[in-house]
Structure 1
Amino acid sequence: MSIAARTRYTGGTRTAGCLRLLTLPFRTAHRLFRPSRQDRISDPAITAAQVARTAVGGAATLWLIRSYPLQESAADVAADQVLELFLSAGVLLVAGPIALACFVLSARPSVRAVYCRRLAGPAAGFAALLGSAVGLWFLLLGGAVQVTQALGGMPIVGALVSTAGVLFGIPFGAAAVVLSVHYTFRVGDVSEVLPPLLSPVLVWSLFVVQALDGPPVAAPPAVHALFVAGPPVSVTLLSVWELQRLRTRHHLTIRRALGRSTPFAC
Protein backbone atom coordinates (compact mmCIF):
# COMPACT_ATOMS: atom_id res chain seq x y z
CA MET A 1 0.00 0.00 0.00
CA SER A 2 1.37 3.40 -0.98
CA ILE A 3 1.92 6.19 1.55
CA ALA A 4 -0.93 8.24 0.07
CA ALA A 5 -3.32 5.29 0.17
CA ARG A 6 -2.24 4.45 3.72
CA THR A 7 -2.84 8.07 4.76
CA ARG A 8 -6.32 8.07 3.20
CA TYR A 9 -7.15 4.77 4.88
CA THR A 10 -5.93 5.97 8.28
CA GLY A 11 -7.81 9.27 7.92
CA GLY A 12 -10.98 7.50 6.86
CA THR A 13 -10.72 5.07 9.78
CA ARG A 14 -10.25 7.91 12.26
CA THR A 15 -13.20 9.83 10.80
CA ALA A 16 -15.42 6.76 11.00
CA GLY A 17 -14.29 6.16 14.57
CA CYS A 18 -15.06 9.76 15.55
CA LEU A 19 -18.49 9.56 13.94
CA ARG A 20 -19.27 6.34 15.77
CA LEU A 21 -18.19 7.92 19.05
CA LEU A 22 -20.25 11.07 18.46
CA THR A 23 -23.36 9.09 17.50
CA LEU A 24 -22.97 6.55 20.34
CA PRO A 25 -25.54 8.25 22.64
CA PHE A 26 -28.12 8.37 19.85
CA ARG A 27 -27.47 4.79 18.71
CA THR A 28 -27.71 3.57 22.31
CA ALA A 29 -31.00 5.41 22.85
CA HIS A 30 -32.41 4.04 19.60
CA ARG A 31 -31.46 0.51 20.60
CA LEU A 32 -33.13 0.91 24.01
CA PHE A 33 -36.36 2.58 22.92
CA ARG A 34 -37.14 1.01 19.55
CA PRO A 35 -39.57 -1.96 19.75
CA SER A 36 -37.58 -5.08 19.00
CA ARG A 37 -39.87 -8.10 19.40
CA GLN A 38 -39.07 -10.39 16.47
CA ASP A 39 -42.64 -11.48 15.70
CA ARG A 40 -44.17 -8.02 16.11
CA ILE A 41 -46.53 -6.98 13.31
CA SER A 42 -44.92 -4.30 11.15
CA ASP A 43 -47.35 -2.71 8.70
CA PRO A 44 -45.73 -0.33 6.16
CA ALA A 45 -49.07 1.44 5.60
CA ILE A 46 -49.39 2.27 9.30
CA THR A 47 -45.82 3.55 9.41
CA ALA A 48 -46.35 5.65 6.28
CA ALA A 49 -49.56 7.15 7.72
CA GLN A 50 -47.79 8.08 10.94
CA VAL A 51 -44.91 9.70 9.06
CA ALA A 52 -47.34 11.58 6.80
CA ARG A 53 -49.33 12.90 9.78
CA THR A 54 -46.13 14.11 11.45
CA ALA A 55 -44.95 15.78 8.23
CA VAL A 56 -48.29 17.50 7.68
CA GLY A 57 -48.37 18.67 11.27
CA GLY A 58 -44.85 20.07 11.05
CA ALA A 59 -45.59 21.85 7.77
CA ALA A 60 -48.81 23.33 9.20
CA THR A 61 -46.95 24.59 12.26
CA LEU A 62 -44.32 26.27 10.09
CA TRP A 63 -47.06 27.87 7.98
CA LEU A 64 -48.77 29.17 11.12
CA ILE A 65 -45.56 30.73 12.43
CA ARG A 66 -44.72 32.31 9.07
CA SER A 67 -48.25 33.58 8.43
CA TYR A 68 -48.92 35.29 11.75
CA PRO A 69 -46.68 37.40 14.02
CA LEU A 70 -45.28 35.73 17.11
CA GLN A 71 -46.68 36.84 20.46
CA GLU A 72 -43.42 35.84 22.14
CA SER A 73 -39.82 35.44 21.10
CA ALA A 74 -38.70 32.57 18.88
CA ALA A 75 -36.59 31.27 21.77
CA ASP A 76 -39.67 31.14 24.01
CA VAL A 77 -41.65 29.31 21.33
CA ALA A 78 -38.85 26.76 20.96
CA ALA A 79 -38.65 26.41 24.75
CA ASP A 80 -42.41 25.75 24.88
CA GLN A 81 -42.05 23.00 22.27
CA VAL A 82 -39.24 21.38 24.25
CA LEU A 83 -41.31 21.67 27.43
CA GLU A 84 -44.25 19.97 25.72
CA LEU A 85 -41.95 17.15 24.63
CA PHE A 86 -40.75 16.61 28.20
CA LEU A 87 -44.35 16.86 29.40
CA SER A 88 -45.28 14.14 26.90
CA ALA A 89 -42.59 11.88 28.32
CA GLY A 90 -43.84 12.64 31.83
CA VAL A 91 -47.41 11.74 30.88
CA LEU A 92 -46.19 8.47 29.38
CA LEU A 93 -44.16 7.71 32.50
CA VAL A 94 -47.42 7.74 34.44
CA ALA A 95 -49.93 6.50 31.85
CA GLY A 96 -47.65 3.83 30.37
CA PRO A 97 -47.31 1.59 33.45
CA ILE A 98 -51.01 2.04 34.26
CA ALA A 99 -52.02 1.04 30.74
CA LEU A 100 -49.67 -1.94 30.75
CA ALA A 101 -50.90 -3.11 34.14
CA CYS A 102 -54.56 -2.82 33.12
CA PHE A 103 -53.91 -4.62 29.82
CA VAL A 104 -51.95 -7.50 31.35
CA LEU A 105 -54.38 -7.96 34.24
CA SER A 106 -57.33 -7.90 31.82
CA ALA A 107 -55.84 -10.67 29.71
CA ARG A 108 -56.80 -14.29 30.15
CA PRO A 109 -54.42 -16.29 32.36
CA SER A 110 -53.46 -18.36 29.32
CA VAL A 111 -51.87 -15.33 27.62
CA ARG A 112 -50.98 -13.22 30.65
CA ALA A 113 -47.69 -15.04 31.09
CA VAL A 114 -46.74 -14.18 27.50
CA TYR A 115 -47.29 -10.49 28.14
CA CYS A 116 -45.40 -10.61 31.42
CA ARG A 117 -42.34 -11.89 29.56
CA ARG A 118 -42.70 -9.09 27.02
CA LEU A 119 -42.66 -6.40 29.70
CA ALA A 120 -38.85 -6.43 29.66
CA GLY A 121 -38.75 -4.05 26.68
CA PRO A 122 -40.97 -1.30 28.14
CA ALA A 123 -39.29 -1.75 31.53
CA ALA A 124 -35.90 -1.14 29.92
CA GLY A 125 -37.24 2.08 28.36
CA PHE A 126 -38.66 3.36 31.64
CA ALA A 127 -35.47 2.48 33.50
CA ALA A 128 -33.25 4.08 30.85
CA LEU A 129 -35.13 7.39 30.92
CA LEU A 130 -35.26 7.59 34.70
CA GLY A 131 -31.66 6.42 34.97
CA SER A 132 -30.41 9.07 32.55
CA ALA A 133 -32.23 11.81 34.46
CA VAL A 134 -30.92 10.67 37.84
CA GLY A 135 -27.42 10.08 36.44
CA LEU A 136 -27.20 13.56 34.91
CA TRP A 137 -28.46 15.13 38.13
CA PHE A 138 -25.81 13.19 40.08
CA LEU A 139 -22.98 14.16 37.72
CA LEU A 140 -23.96 17.82 37.43
CA LEU A 141 -23.95 18.12 41.23
CA GLY A 142 -20.40 16.78 41.33
CA GLY A 143 -21.31 13.36 42.63
CA ALA A 144 -18.54 11.59 40.73
CA VAL A 145 -15.89 13.93 42.19
CA GLN A 146 -17.19 13.41 45.72
CA VAL A 147 -17.29 9.62 45.32
CA THR A 148 -13.73 9.62 43.94
CA GLN A 149 -12.48 11.67 46.88
CA ALA A 150 -14.33 9.45 49.37
CA LEU A 151 -12.60 6.41 47.87
CA GLY A 152 -9.22 8.06 48.18
CA GLY A 153 -8.76 8.80 44.49
CA MET A 154 -7.65 11.99 42.78
CA PRO A 155 -10.38 14.61 42.16
CA ILE A 156 -9.22 14.94 38.54
CA VAL A 157 -10.41 11.37 37.92
CA GLY A 158 -13.88 12.22 39.18
CA ALA A 159 -13.89 15.38 37.07
CA LEU A 160 -13.00 13.39 33.94
CA VAL A 161 -15.71 10.84 34.70
CA SER A 162 -18.25 13.64 35.24
CA THR A 163 -17.28 15.35 31.99
CA ALA A 164 -17.49 12.13 29.99
CA GLY A 165 -20.80 11.22 31.62
CA VAL A 166 -22.35 14.62 30.93
CA LEU A 167 -21.13 14.64 27.32
CA PHE A 168 -22.79 11.24 26.85
CA GLY A 169 -25.80 11.82 29.09
CA ILE A 170 -27.13 15.07 27.60
CA PRO A 171 -27.53 13.83 23.99
CA PHE A 172 -28.64 10.42 25.24
CA GLY A 173 -31.26 11.99 27.50
CA ALA A 174 -32.55 14.24 24.71
CA ALA A 175 -32.78 11.29 22.30
CA ALA A 176 -34.41 9.17 25.02
CA VAL A 177 -37.19 11.73 25.53
CA VAL A 178 -37.88 11.99 21.78
CA LEU A 179 -37.79 8.25 21.13
CA SER A 180 -39.78 7.33 24.24
CA VAL A 181 -42.60 9.57 23.02
CA HIS A 182 -42.27 8.41 19.40
CA TYR A 183 -42.37 4.71 20.33
CA THR A 184 -44.65 5.18 23.39
CA PHE A 185 -42.11 3.45 25.62
CA ARG A 186 -42.04 0.29 23.53
CA VAL A 187 -45.54 -0.80 24.57
CA GLY A 188 -45.82 -2.26 21.07
CA ASP A 189 -43.42 -4.97 22.27
CA VAL A 190 -46.21 -6.21 24.54
CA SER A 191 -49.01 -5.98 21.97
CA GLU A 192 -49.58 -4.08 18.74
CA VAL A 193 -52.94 -2.77 19.98
CA LEU A 194 -51.37 -0.80 22.83
CA PRO A 195 -49.72 2.10 20.89
CA PRO A 196 -52.98 3.19 19.18
CA LEU A 197 -54.77 2.90 22.52
CA LEU A 198 -52.18 4.94 24.42
CA SER A 199 -51.40 7.64 21.85
CA PRO A 200 -54.79 9.42 22.13
CA VAL A 201 -54.38 9.59 25.92
CA LEU A 202 -51.09 11.40 25.42
CA VAL A 203 -52.27 13.94 22.85
CA TRP A 204 -55.52 14.76 24.65
CA SER A 205 -53.53 15.36 27.84
CA LEU A 206 -51.38 17.85 25.93
CA PHE A 207 -54.54 19.37 24.43
CA VAL A 208 -55.67 20.37 27.92
CA VAL A 209 -52.33 22.06 28.58
CA GLN A 210 -52.33 23.87 25.24
CA ALA A 211 -55.93 25.00 25.68
CA LEU A 212 -55.01 26.65 28.98
CA ASP A 213 -51.94 28.28 27.49
CA GLY A 214 -52.11 31.37 25.31
CA PRO A 215 -51.63 31.15 21.51
CA PRO A 216 -47.97 31.54 20.41
CA VAL A 217 -48.99 33.61 17.40
CA ALA A 218 -51.51 36.40 16.82
CA ALA A 219 -53.85 34.19 14.78
CA PRO A 220 -57.64 34.45 14.62
CA PRO A 221 -59.43 32.39 17.30
CA ALA A 222 -60.77 29.94 14.71
CA VAL A 223 -57.27 29.25 13.34
CA HIS A 224 -55.84 28.87 16.83
CA ALA A 225 -58.63 26.46 17.81
CA LEU A 226 -58.00 24.43 14.66
CA PHE A 227 -54.31 24.09 15.40
CA VAL A 228 -54.91 23.21 19.04
CA ALA A 229 -57.60 20.61 18.32
CA GLY A 230 -56.04 19.28 15.11
CA PRO A 231 -53.28 17.12 16.65
CA PRO A 232 -55.45 15.19 19.14
CA VAL A 233 -58.26 14.72 16.63
CA SER A 234 -55.91 13.51 13.88
CA VAL A 235 -54.03 11.17 16.22
CA THR A 236 -57.31 9.75 17.50
CA LEU A 237 -58.61 9.15 13.98
CA LEU A 238 -55.29 7.59 12.99
CA SER A 239 -55.40 5.32 16.04
CA VAL A 240 -58.94 4.20 15.16
CA TRP A 241 -57.82 3.46 11.59
CA GLU A 242 -54.75 1.59 12.87
CA LEU A 243 -56.90 -0.63 15.09
CA GLN A 244 -59.23 -1.22 12.16
CA ARG A 245 -56.31 -2.16 9.90
CA LEU A 246 -54.92 -4.54 12.51
CA ARG A 247 -58.32 -6.21 12.60
CA THR A 248 -58.92 -6.44 8.85
CA ARG A 249 -55.37 -7.09 7.60
CA HIS A 250 -53.78 -8.96 10.49
CA HIS A 251 -56.82 -10.44 12.27
CA LEU A 252 -55.78 -8.82 15.55
CA THR A 253 -58.40 -7.22 17.76
CA ILE A 254 -58.33 -6.03 21.36
CA ARG A 255 -60.41 -9.05 22.41
CA ARG A 256 -58.05 -11.45 20.65
CA ALA A 257 -55.05 -9.70 22.16
CA LEU A 258 -56.60 -10.23 25.60
CA GLY A 259 -57.21 -13.88 24.82
CA ARG A 260 -60.99 -13.41 25.00
CA SER A 261 -61.58 -14.43 21.41
CA THR A 262 -59.98 -17.36 19.59
CA PRO A 263 -57.57 -17.79 17.98
CA PHE A 264 -55.06 -15.87 20.09
CA ALA A 265 -52.85 -13.83 17.79
CA CYS A 266 -50.66 -10.95 18.85
Structure 2
Amino acid sequence: MLNPFLAARAVFRPSRPDLIVDSRVRSLQVARAWAGIVVTLAVAVLYKAAAPQELAMDRFNDAWINVLILTCALPLVVGAFVVAARPPNRGVFARRIRHPLIAVGAMFASMFMFVLAAVPELSGLREALGPVVLIPGGMVLFLWVLPFAVYGIVLSLTHVFRTADIHEVVPPLVSVSASWVMALVNVFTDAYKGVPGVVAMALLLGAPLTVSVLAYYELRRMRRLHGITVRNTLLR
Protein backbone atom coordinates (compact mmCIF):
# COMPACT_ATOMS: atom_id res chain seq x y z
CA MET A 1 0.00 0.00 0.00
CA LEU A 2 2.99 2.35 0.30
CA ASN A 3 3.46 2.11 -3.46
CA PRO A 4 0.60 3.99 -5.20
CA PHE A 5 1.08 2.11 -8.47
CA LEU A 6 0.88 -1.32 -6.83
CA ALA A 7 -2.11 -0.13 -4.81
CA ALA A 8 -3.84 1.03 -8.01
CA ARG A 9 -3.23 -2.36 -9.62
CA ALA A 10 -4.70 -4.12 -6.61
CA VAL A 11 -7.82 -1.93 -6.71
CA PHE A 12 -8.46 -1.47 -10.44
CA ARG A 13 -7.25 -4.68 -12.12
CA PRO A 14 -9.50 -7.78 -12.22
CA SER A 15 -8.31 -10.54 -9.91
CA ARG A 16 -10.95 -13.27 -9.91
CA PRO A 17 -9.15 -16.62 -9.42
CA ASP A 18 -10.81 -18.33 -12.39
CA LEU A 19 -10.64 -15.26 -14.65
CA ILE A 20 -9.83 -16.05 -18.28
CA VAL A 21 -7.11 -13.64 -19.45
CA ASP A 22 -6.58 -13.33 -23.19
CA SER A 23 -3.15 -11.80 -23.69
CA ARG A 24 -3.91 -10.74 -27.25
CA VAL A 25 -7.09 -8.91 -26.26
CA ARG A 26 -5.28 -7.32 -23.29
CA SER A 27 -2.56 -6.02 -25.62
CA LEU A 28 -5.16 -4.57 -27.97
CA GLN A 29 -6.91 -2.84 -25.08
CA VAL A 30 -3.68 -1.21 -23.92
CA ALA A 31 -2.81 -0.23 -27.50
CA ARG A 32 -6.27 1.31 -27.96
CA ALA A 33 -5.91 3.36 -24.76
CA TRP A 34 -2.50 4.74 -25.77
CA ALA A 35 -3.62 5.33 -29.35
CA GLY A 36 -6.45 7.48 -28.01
CA ILE A 37 -3.99 9.53 -25.96
CA VAL A 38 -1.65 10.06 -28.93
CA VAL A 39 -4.46 11.01 -31.32
CA THR A 40 -6.01 13.46 -28.85
CA LEU A 41 -2.67 15.14 -28.19
CA ALA A 42 -1.92 15.34 -31.91
CA VAL A 43 -5.26 17.00 -32.63
CA ALA A 44 -4.74 19.46 -29.78
CA VAL A 45 -1.25 20.38 -31.02
CA LEU A 46 -2.36 20.81 -34.63
CA TYR A 47 -5.66 22.62 -34.16
CA LYS A 48 -5.75 24.11 -30.66
CA ALA A 49 -2.19 25.42 -30.30
CA ALA A 50 -2.26 25.08 -26.52
CA ALA A 51 0.69 25.20 -24.14
CA PRO A 52 2.10 21.84 -22.93
CA GLN A 53 0.56 22.34 -19.49
CA GLU A 54 -2.84 23.04 -21.04
CA LEU A 55 -2.51 19.98 -23.29
CA ALA A 56 -1.79 17.76 -20.30
CA MET A 57 -4.73 19.23 -18.39
CA ASP A 58 -7.07 18.85 -21.38
CA ARG A 59 -6.07 15.21 -21.78
CA PHE A 60 -6.59 14.59 -18.07
CA ASN A 61 -10.03 16.23 -18.28
CA ASP A 62 -10.93 14.08 -21.29
CA ALA A 63 -9.88 10.93 -19.45
CA TRP A 64 -11.83 11.98 -16.36
CA ILE A 65 -14.95 12.64 -18.45
CA ASN A 66 -14.56 9.16 -19.94
CA VAL A 67 -14.38 7.74 -16.43
CA LEU A 68 -17.54 9.62 -15.43
CA ILE A 69 -19.45 8.36 -18.46
CA LEU A 70 -18.15 4.85 -17.86
CA THR A 71 -19.37 5.13 -14.28
CA CYS A 72 -22.82 6.14 -15.51
CA ALA A 73 -23.02 3.31 -18.04
CA LEU A 74 -21.69 0.69 -15.64
CA PRO A 75 -24.70 0.33 -13.29
CA LEU A 76 -27.16 0.31 -16.19
CA VAL A 77 -25.37 -2.37 -18.21
CA VAL A 78 -24.32 -4.46 -15.21
CA GLY A 79 -27.78 -4.18 -13.67
CA ALA A 80 -29.43 -5.30 -16.90
CA PHE A 81 -26.90 -8.14 -17.21
CA VAL A 82 -27.57 -9.43 -13.70
CA VAL A 83 -31.35 -9.16 -14.06
CA ALA A 84 -31.24 -10.94 -17.43
CA ALA A 85 -29.27 -13.87 -15.99
CA ARG A 86 -31.16 -16.87 -14.70
CA PRO A 87 -30.47 -18.55 -11.34
CA PRO A 88 -28.03 -19.63 -10.10
CA ASN A 89 -25.85 -17.32 -12.20
CA ARG A 90 -27.90 -14.27 -11.22
CA GLY A 91 -26.91 -14.60 -7.58
CA VAL A 92 -23.28 -15.32 -8.43
CA PHE A 93 -23.00 -12.22 -10.62
CA ALA A 94 -24.76 -10.05 -8.04
CA ARG A 95 -22.26 -11.05 -5.35
CA ARG A 96 -19.33 -10.22 -7.62
CA ILE A 97 -20.46 -6.61 -8.12
CA ARG A 98 -18.62 -5.56 -4.96
CA HIS A 99 -15.25 -5.47 -6.74
CA PRO A 100 -16.27 -2.93 -9.41
CA LEU A 101 -18.05 -0.91 -6.71
CA ILE A 102 -14.85 -0.78 -4.64
CA ALA A 103 -12.93 0.39 -7.71
CA VAL A 104 -15.47 3.14 -8.43
CA GLY A 105 -15.49 4.21 -4.77
CA ALA A 106 -11.69 4.35 -4.63
CA MET A 107 -11.52 6.48 -7.77
CA PHE A 108 -14.05 9.04 -6.55
CA ALA A 109 -12.53 9.11 -3.07
CA SER A 110 -9.11 9.94 -4.46
CA MET A 111 -10.48 12.67 -6.73
CA PHE A 112 -12.56 14.08 -3.85
CA MET A 113 -9.35 14.67 -1.91
CA PHE A 114 -8.20 17.08 -4.62
CA VAL A 115 -11.55 18.85 -4.41
CA LEU A 116 -11.12 19.28 -0.66
CA ALA A 117 -7.63 20.66 -1.19
CA ALA A 118 -8.67 23.20 -3.84
CA VAL A 119 -12.30 24.26 -3.25
CA PRO A 120 -12.42 27.95 -2.26
CA GLU A 121 -15.22 27.40 0.26
CA LEU A 122 -12.85 25.39 2.47
CA SER A 123 -9.99 27.89 2.46
CA GLY A 124 -10.84 28.90 6.04
CA LEU A 125 -10.58 25.31 7.21
CA ARG A 126 -7.23 24.90 5.49
CA GLU A 127 -5.93 28.07 7.15
CA ALA A 128 -7.15 26.83 10.53
CA LEU A 129 -5.31 23.53 10.11
CA GLY A 130 -2.06 25.37 9.49
CA PRO A 131 1.21 24.19 7.93
CA VAL A 132 1.66 21.41 10.50
CA VAL A 133 -1.19 19.51 8.82
CA LEU A 134 -1.19 20.99 5.32
CA ILE A 135 2.47 20.33 4.48
CA PRO A 136 2.47 16.56 5.20
CA GLY A 137 -1.05 16.35 3.80
CA GLY A 138 0.08 18.03 0.58
CA MET A 139 3.03 15.65 0.31
CA VAL A 140 0.74 12.65 0.63
CA LEU A 141 -1.67 14.19 -1.88
CA PHE A 142 0.90 14.73 -4.62
CA LEU A 143 3.29 11.86 -3.91
CA TRP A 144 0.69 9.11 -3.34
CA VAL A 145 -2.88 10.15 -4.19
CA LEU A 146 -2.00 11.83 -7.51
CA PRO A 147 -0.13 8.86 -9.06
CA PHE A 148 -2.76 6.50 -7.62
CA ALA A 149 -5.56 8.52 -9.26
CA VAL A 150 -3.82 9.01 -12.63
CA TYR A 151 -2.77 5.38 -12.93
CA GLY A 152 -6.18 4.37 -11.64
CA ILE A 153 -7.86 6.28 -14.46
CA VAL A 154 -5.72 4.46 -17.04
CA LEU A 155 -6.47 1.08 -15.47
CA SER A 156 -10.18 1.90 -15.10
CA LEU A 157 -10.49 2.72 -18.79
CA THR A 158 -8.44 -0.32 -19.82
CA HIS A 159 -10.14 -2.83 -17.53
CA VAL A 160 -13.57 -1.14 -17.41
CA PHE A 161 -13.58 -0.79 -13.60
CA ARG A 162 -12.61 -4.47 -13.24
CA THR A 163 -16.04 -5.62 -14.42
CA ALA A 164 -14.39 -8.83 -15.65
CA ASP A 165 -14.59 -9.89 -12.01
CA ILE A 166 -18.35 -10.21 -12.63
CA HIS A 167 -17.85 -12.14 -15.87
CA GLU A 168 -15.59 -11.97 -18.91
CA VAL A 169 -18.39 -10.82 -21.23
CA VAL A 170 -19.28 -7.77 -19.13
CA PRO A 171 -16.32 -5.44 -19.98
CA PRO A 172 -16.97 -5.42 -23.75
CA LEU A 173 -20.68 -4.77 -23.17
CA VAL A 174 -20.00 -1.86 -20.80
CA SER A 175 -17.21 -0.36 -22.92
CA VAL A 176 -19.31 -0.35 -26.10
CA SER A 177 -22.22 1.35 -24.31
CA ALA A 178 -19.96 3.97 -22.71
CA SER A 179 -18.10 4.74 -25.97
CA TRP A 180 -21.29 5.49 -27.89
CA VAL A 181 -22.63 7.60 -25.04
CA MET A 182 -19.34 9.53 -25.10
CA ALA A 183 -19.75 10.08 -28.83
CA LEU A 184 -23.21 11.58 -28.24
CA VAL A 185 -21.81 13.82 -25.50
CA ASN A 186 -19.12 15.05 -27.90
CA VAL A 187 -21.78 15.86 -30.49
CA PHE A 188 -23.88 17.95 -28.11
CA THR A 189 -20.89 19.71 -26.50
CA ASP A 190 -19.18 20.43 -29.84
CA ALA A 191 -16.00 18.85 -28.49
CA TYR A 192 -14.12 19.18 -31.80
CA LYS A 193 -14.85 22.83 -32.47
CA GLY A 194 -12.21 24.30 -34.76
CA VAL A 195 -11.23 20.90 -36.16
CA PRO A 196 -11.93 20.32 -39.90
CA GLY A 197 -15.17 18.48 -40.56
CA VAL A 198 -13.67 15.28 -41.95
CA VAL A 199 -11.16 15.03 -39.10
CA ALA A 200 -13.85 15.81 -36.51
CA MET A 201 -16.10 13.09 -37.92
CA ALA A 202 -13.24 10.57 -37.89
CA LEU A 203 -12.47 11.44 -34.26
CA LEU A 204 -16.13 11.35 -33.29
CA LEU A 205 -16.80 7.90 -34.76
CA GLY A 206 -13.31 6.46 -34.49
CA ALA A 207 -13.42 5.72 -30.76
CA PRO A 208 -16.85 4.00 -30.56
CA LEU A 209 -16.26 2.05 -33.78
CA THR A 210 -12.83 0.89 -32.58
CA VAL A 211 -14.24 -0.11 -29.19
CA SER A 212 -17.13 -1.95 -30.87
CA VAL A 213 -14.80 -3.88 -33.20
CA LEU A 214 -12.52 -4.79 -30.28
CA ALA A 215 -15.51 -5.91 -28.20
CA TYR A 216 -16.76 -8.08 -31.07
CA TYR A 217 -13.29 -9.57 -31.47
CA GLU A 218 -13.06 -10.26 -27.74
CA LEU A 219 -16.47 -11.94 -27.60
CA ARG A 220 -15.68 -13.93 -30.73
CA ARG A 221 -12.41 -15.24 -29.26
CA MET A 222 -14.18 -16.22 -26.03
CA ARG A 223 -16.77 -18.15 -28.03
CA ARG A 224 -14.21 -19.81 -30.30
CA LEU A 225 -11.52 -20.60 -27.70
CA HIS A 226 -13.56 -21.14 -24.53
CA GLY A 227 -17.14 -21.75 -25.63
CA ILE A 228 -18.34 -18.66 -23.74
CA THR A 229 -21.18 -16.55 -25.16
CA VAL A 230 -23.45 -13.93 -23.68
CA ARG A 231 -26.41 -16.26 -24.14
CA ASN A 232 -24.99 -19.30 -22.34
CA THR A 233 -23.54 -17.04 -19.63
CA LEU A 234 -27.06 -15.80 -18.89
CA LEU A 235 -28.33 -19.42 -19.08
CA ARG A 236 -30.68 -18.40 -21.85
Category of TM-score, reference length = shorter chain: 0.7 to 0.9
Match of 1:73 among 39, 47, 50: 50
**TM-aligned CA distance change 1:56 to 1:185, over 3 Å:** closer
Tell me which moved more, 155-164 or 112-121. Answer: 155-164
**Structure 1 runs not aligned, ≥5 long:** 1-19, 150-154, 261-266
Structure scoring higher RCO (CA < 8 A, sep ≥ 6) equals 2
* CA distance in structure 1 between the partners assigned to 2:51 and 2:115 by the alignment: 28
Q: Does 2:61 match 1:83? A: yes
Identical residues among aligned pairs (%): 31
Note if contact 2:86-2:234 (Cα within 8 Å) is conserved in structure 1.
yes
Q: Deviations over 1:25-58 (max 9, x none)?
A: 2221121000111111111221233344445555
**Structure 2 runs not aligned, ≥5 long:** none
Q: Deviations over 1:51-89 (max 9, x none)?
A: 4444555565566567xx424424444433222111111
**TM-aligned CA distance change 1:61 to 1:129, over 3 Å:** closer
Q: Does 2:24 match 1:45? A: yes
| Structure-2 residue corresponding to 1:213 | 190
State the TM-score, normalizing by the size of structure 1.
0.74
* CA distance in structure 2 between the partners assigned to 1:74 and 1:164 by the alignment: 26
| Structure-2 residue corresponding to 1:130 | 108
- Could you tell me which amino acid in structure 2 is paired with residue 124 of structure 1? I
Task: Indicate the structure (1 or 2) with the bigger Cα radius of gyration.
Answer: 1
1:157-236 aligned within 5 A? 157-167=132-142, 168-211=144-187, 212-213=189-190, 215=192, 219=196, 221-236=197-212
Tell me which moved more, 27-36 or 133-142. Answer: 133-142
* CA distance in structure 1 between the partners assigned to 2:5 and 2:19 by the alignment: 23
| Structure-2 residue corresponding to 1:17 | none
Paired residues, number: 229
Match of 1:93 among 68, 71, 75: 71
Residue aligned with 1:185, SS: coil
Q: Deviations over 1:121-158 (max 9, x none)?
A: 11210110122123333355476886xx7xxxxx5543
* CA distance in structure 2 between the partners assigned to 1:27 and 1:54 by the alignment: 20
